[in-house]
Amino acid sequence: MYTLHWQPPYDWKWMFTFLRARAVSGIETFTGDVYIRSVIVEGHRGVMTLTPRTDTHTLTVELSEGLLPVAALCLSRIERLLDLRCDPRTIAAALGNLASARPGLRLPGSVDPFEQSVRAILGQLVSVAMAAKLTGKVVAACGEPLVDAPGYYTFPTPEALAAADPLQLKSLGMPVKRAQAIIHLAQATLDGYFPLHAPVDVEEGVKRLQTFPGIGRWTASYFALRGWQAKDIFLPDDYAIKQRFSGMTPAQIRRYAERWQPWRSYALLHIWFTEDWQPEQAS
C-alpha cells in the first residue's frame, strides 16, 4: 500500500467522470470511486488500484505483485495521469473567472505515452464512446491477458502493434489508413523516432508529430496535452472551441488564448467543460 499527496482543491468527480467515459474494456474498470487499471512498466505487468481520500488529501495506491519491483516508476506515472503535482491555486489565479466554476480541475495525463498516442489516433472522427469501444477491440486482439488478474489485459506493446496485420486491424472497425498509421507509429517508437517524452520546445514537438502518417494538428496537440501532459496547449481548430468562439477565426482564437499562457491546457479544459462560457466581447 502506497500513499500519494495532492493539494486541494481537487475535483475528483470531474476527473473520474472524464476517465470513466474513456475507460477501455480489458484494461480499465471503475468500482464506485475506485479506479483500477493494468499497466506495463519496464516489462513488469500488473494492475494498480487507486482510491482518493478527500478527507486527508491523499491517494491510496495498491499495486499487484508483478509491479512491486517498479513501484517508484508506477507512482510517478500515477502522478502524471492524475496531475497530482499541480498547484491548483496558482492556475486558478492565472485563469481568473474562467476557472471559477471548477477550481479543482486537473489535466488528465496518461500512464504510458505510447498507449496514449495510439488512443489519440483511434479517437479520430469518432465519439468518445466509440473510441473506447474500438480501443477495447484492439486490446483484445493484440494485448496479452494478465495471468494474475483475470479479465484484465495489458495494452498492446509497440512490438505487438508493429507486427500487426493492417487488414486485421481494419476488421476491428477502422479505416485501413488508420491501421497503417498505428503500425507505423509502433515501428517508429521501437526505432526511437517517435518522441514519447516532451521536448523542450513543445510547439516544435507538435509540428514533428504531424510528420507521422495519420497524425494531423488536432491529434498531435491532443497527444501533447495528455501523452506529454503539456501545460500550454490550445486547440483553436477544435470543433467545440470554434463553437465557443463563434464568429472568430482560428487565428483570432489563438491570439485570444494567449492571455492564459503558460496554462492554456487548463484553459482549454475549462472551456470544453463549461457549456455556457463565452469570450469577452471587448477582447
pLDDT at residue 283, as a whole number: 43
CATH of the domain at 179: 1.10.340.30
117 in the same domain as 95 = no
First CA to last CA across the chain, in angstroms? 50
Which of 226, 241, 272 terminates a domain? The answer is 226
pLDDT at residue 68, as a whole number: 98
Cell of 137: 477491440
In which element (H, E) is residue 274 found?
none
Per-residue pLDDT of 149-177, as tens digits, reads 999 999 999 999 999 999 999 999 999 99
Q: Is residue 258 part of a domain?
A: no
152 in the same domain as 126 = yes
Q: Is residue 82 part of a domain?
A: yes
SS3 state of residue 135: helix
CATH of the domain at 49: 3.30.310.20
Per-residue pLDDT of 110-126, as tens digits, reads 999 999 999 999 999 89
238 is catalytic: yes
Which of 188, 204, 226 terminates a domain? The answer is 226
In sequence order, what are the beta bridge partners of 36? Answer: 29, 49
60 pLDDT higher than 80: yes
Dihedral sign from CA coordinates of 48, 53, 54, 58: negative
Q: Is residue 245 part of a domain?
A: no
72 in the same domain as 15 = yes
**Catalytic residue selected from 11, 165, 238, 276:** 238
Residue 13 lies in domain:
2-99
SS3 state of residue 150: coil
128 in the same domain as 87 = no
